[in-house]
Structure 1
Amino acid sequence: MEIADLATRVAAGDRRALARAITLVESGRADHRAQALDLIAQLAVSGAEALRIGLSGTPGVGKSTFIESFGLMLTGAGLRVAVLAVDPSSARTGGSILGDKTRMEHLSRDPQAFIRPSPAQSHLGGVARRTREAIALCEAAGYDVILIETVGVGQSETVVAEMSDLFVLLLAPAGGDELQGVKRGIMEIADLIVVNKADGDLRDTARRTCADYAGALRLLRKRPEDPEDFPKAMMASALDRTGLDTVWQEVQALAAWRRSHGHFARRRAEQARHWFEEEVRQGLLARLREEPAARDRMQELGDAVAQGTAAPGPAAREVLSWLRQG
C-alpha cells in the first residue's frame, strides 16, 4: 500500500480512499498499525478542523433517524458531514451487524455525507478504540461536521467527551423512570438534551418531559466552560424534521462561545494529552500480551490469583516491577 498516495486521495476528499484509510487504522496487524501512524502523521500537517459532535441515547430513541434528518439538513446547507457510528459487538462471537447505512438510507446516498459503521469490540465507552483516529482522517478529508454515534447510554460512555467538542443526549418522551435510569455521569457531560419524537400524540408528553429534564439540569453544578444558559433541554422531531434547525443553532452558539473564551482550544489540548496517555497504557497492555516472557509471567501469576495462592494487588505489583526491570 502506497501511503503517500492514500494520504493525497484522502486530503482530496475521496470517500473510497477515506473508507480504506479508516479500515487501515482499525486493523490489528502490526504492519498495518505502522502504516496507519505514518498516514495520520502525513495528514496531520493539513491542520483541518471539523466540529465534532458526540450523540448518544437510550435504545429506541431514534438515534439513526435523528442523525439522518440532522445530517441531511446540514448537507442541504452546504456542509460536508461524516457519521462515525459505533455498533455493539457480541460478547460471545465478537461480531457486529454494522447496519447503520441501511438505517440511514437517504443520507448514505448523499455525496456530501460519509457514513462509517465500526464495531465497538470490547472497548468501553461506546466508541471503538480507533474512532479518535477515524475522526482525524475525516477532518483531513475536509468534512465540516463529524457526528459520533455511540452504542447506548451508560456511565462508561463518558469517554465520548474525550473525542468530541459537544455532546448531545437524545431521550424519548414518556420515558417513565428514564430520568432515574440515565446515569449522572452522562447527564453531567451533556451539553444539549434533545427530547426526540416530539410529534403527533407525543408532542404534549415531549413538552412535559423536556420541562422535567430542564429542571434536572438546573440542579447540576454549572461548568466554567459554558455560558449561563447551558446545558439546556429542547424538543425535536426527526420524523417531521422540526426543531433540528434550533438544535443546530444552539450547537453553533455554544461552539462559538467556547472558541471566543479559549475553552475550545484548551479542551482539544486536554483531549490530545488524554489520548497520548491512553496509547501508552494500551501499548503496555499489548506488551504483556505479545511478549512470550511477559505473557508467561502473566499466566503464571493469573493462575496463582485464581487458585487463591496470591492476592491480585501484590501479583499486579510484581508484574509492574518486572516491566520496570525489563
Structure 2
Amino acid sequence: MSATDRAAFQTAVAEHLTSIKRGTFRGDVALKLDLATAGKSPPHAHTIAKNFLDLLGDRMTGVDWPKKSLLYADDSQIQALSVSCRHGEDRPNIRIEARPFADMLDDLELAGRALQAAESMESHYEQEREGEWVDTFRNLIRDEKAQRKALGDKTYEAYREMVRWSAQRALLGRSGVDIPVLGWMYGLPRGLPTGFDKKMWAGLVGESKLRLQVGELPIASGGSSKFEQNVVDEIAAFKKRWDWIISPLVVAVALEVVVRPNPKTPPTVLHDLDNIVRDYLIPDIVPAFGTVSDQRWTIDFAELRARD
C-alpha cells in the first residue's frame, strides 16, 4: 500500500470517528476486520490484517486528527480480535468494527442467557447425530475393500469424500470455543451456576485434545526458538492423531486462538494477538494443514455476466 493510500485510509477512519463523535480508545478493545479482495494474487490474510492494524494505531503526518493515535494508542489494547478475509470478490471492501472490550463481554453475557433460555433436548440430540459422522467415516475407510466391492470404485470414492466432509465438520466443530464456553471462561452469565469456575473452564479448553496446545508464550531471551519448536511438535502430534480424517481438508476452517498469559508476565513483554498469530502460528500451521479451495473462486462471474 502506497503512502498516499495509507493516508487516505487513515483520513477516512478519522472522518468517520469525527462523524460519530468517537475519540481514541483508551482501554481494552474488541476489534473485527472483515476484508474482501478482488486481485488475482492478493497478500495473505494475516499480512493484510497486520497492515490495517498498524494503520489504526499511530496517526500519519498530515492526517487531520487531534491526537497522535487514531483508533487506539497501542495494539496491545486489542483483547479480542476477529479477522475474516474473502478472496476473489468482484470488488475490494474493508469493514471495521471496534468497541470497548467490556461491551463485548456484555453482549457475550446476553447471548449466553438467550442460548440457555432456548436450549432444548433436540439441540443436544442434533449435536450427537452430527458427531456420528466421525464413526461413519472411520468404519468406511476401515472396511474399504468390502465397500469398494459393493459400491464400485467411483461411487465409493464420491461417498467417502461426502462423508469426510461431514466428519470434518463434526470433528472441527467440536474443537471450537462456542458462545457458552467463551462466556464461562469469563465467568458469564453472572449468577448462572455451571459447576465450574472460569479458571476451571479455561483449564478444560487448555487441555482439549481437539486443540493445538502450544504452551506458554516466550517471555525470556532465547525463548522464541523453544516456543516455535513446541508449535511444530504439537502440529505433528495433532496430525498423527487426526490425519486420517483431516487430510486432505475439504471444509474451510478458521484459526481460533485463545491466549491466557501467565499472571506473572510483566506487561512490557506481553505479546500482541496479531503478532502471536502472524509470527508463531500461521507460518507452521498453514503449510502443515493446507488450504481449502472453493470451486466458486475458479469461476470468473464477471465474464459470465458479460456474456449474458
TM-score by shorter chain over 0.5: no
Which structure has the bigger radius of gyration?
2
User: Which has more strand, going by share of residues?
Assistant: 1
